[in-house]
């Protein structure tokens, strides 16, 4: 019977370009957290997330909003003195959390990603009006009117379709996607 992987090893395995164990080479210098433009919105900074992974603390990591707030700007990755791809790790945590179906309840990031994955599995293409509809009033009326104005401008320029389009041979496409974890299990 194969040995059960620790949480930390599972996350390292999701870092496709990783050699050895990059998480263990973190020196906790905090450069990633201080350079991160989204850190103020995170309940755990990138440095903290790495420390929690190293300590194998699955629950606080998966219930964190940190990786859902990550803007994928890669500032942390290019500045890390230990060469750790922190942005890649944030992507890995998103995949892992969806794959395991473990994320903070009410998290818009997780909910949105799930809806997006389901839509791609079904149609092979994104359809923005359907994706945005559940969140229209989430940030209040002011944001709703702001978004509505942007949507109208996009529509007038022909950049916002009224009806969804389907990829030809979508069943074949679904077969390819179903081999990818976690997207293949999102439906």
* Residues at the site binding ligand SF4, with contacts judged by CB under 6 A: 26-32, 35-38, 46-47, 50, 70-76, 80-82, 84, 86-87, 90
Q: How far is the CB of 119 from ligand SF4 (least distance, A)?
A: 24
Q: Which is nearer to ligand SF4, 90 or 110 (CB)?
A: 90
Q: Which is nearer to ligand SF4, 12 or 36 (CB)?
A: 36
Indicate the angle between helix axes 46-54 and 86-99, nearest 10 degrees.
60
Q: How far is the CB of 15 from ligand SF4 (least distance, A)?
A: 12
Q: How far is the CB of 125 from ligand SF4 (least distance, A)?
A: 27
Q: Which is nearer to ligand SF4, 68 or 127 (CB)?
A: 68
Q: How far is the CB of 75 from ligand SF4 (least distance, A)?
A: 4
Distance CA 35, CA 75 (A): 7
Distance CA 187, CA 176 (A): 14
DSSP track, 79-130: H-TT---HHHHHHHHHHHHHHTT---TT-HHHHHHHHHHHHHHHHSS--HHH
């Amino acid at each position: 019977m194969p040995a059960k992987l620790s949480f930390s090893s599972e996350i390292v395995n999701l870092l496709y370009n990783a050699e050895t164990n990059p998480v263990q080479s973190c020196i906790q210098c905090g450069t990633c957290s201080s350079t991160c433009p989204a850190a103020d919105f995170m309940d755990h900074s990138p440095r903290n997330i790495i420390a929690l992974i190293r300590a194998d603390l699955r629950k606080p990591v998966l219930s964190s909003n940190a990786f859902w707030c990550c803007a994928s700007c890669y500032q942390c990755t290019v500045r890390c003195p230990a060469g750790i791809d922190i942005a890649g790790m944030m992507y890995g945590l998103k995949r892992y959390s969806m794959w395991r179906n473990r994320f903070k309840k009410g998290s818009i990031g997780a909910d949105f990603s799930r809806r997006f994955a389901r839509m791609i599995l079904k149609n092979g293409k994104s359809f923005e009006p359907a994706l945005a509809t559940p969140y229209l009033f989430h940030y209040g009326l002011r944001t709703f009117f702001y978004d509505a104005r942007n949507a109208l401008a996009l529509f007038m320029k022909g950049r916002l379709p009224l009806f969804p389009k389907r990829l030809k041979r979508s069943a074949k496409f679904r077969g390819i996607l179903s081999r990818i974890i976690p997207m293949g299990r999102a439906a």
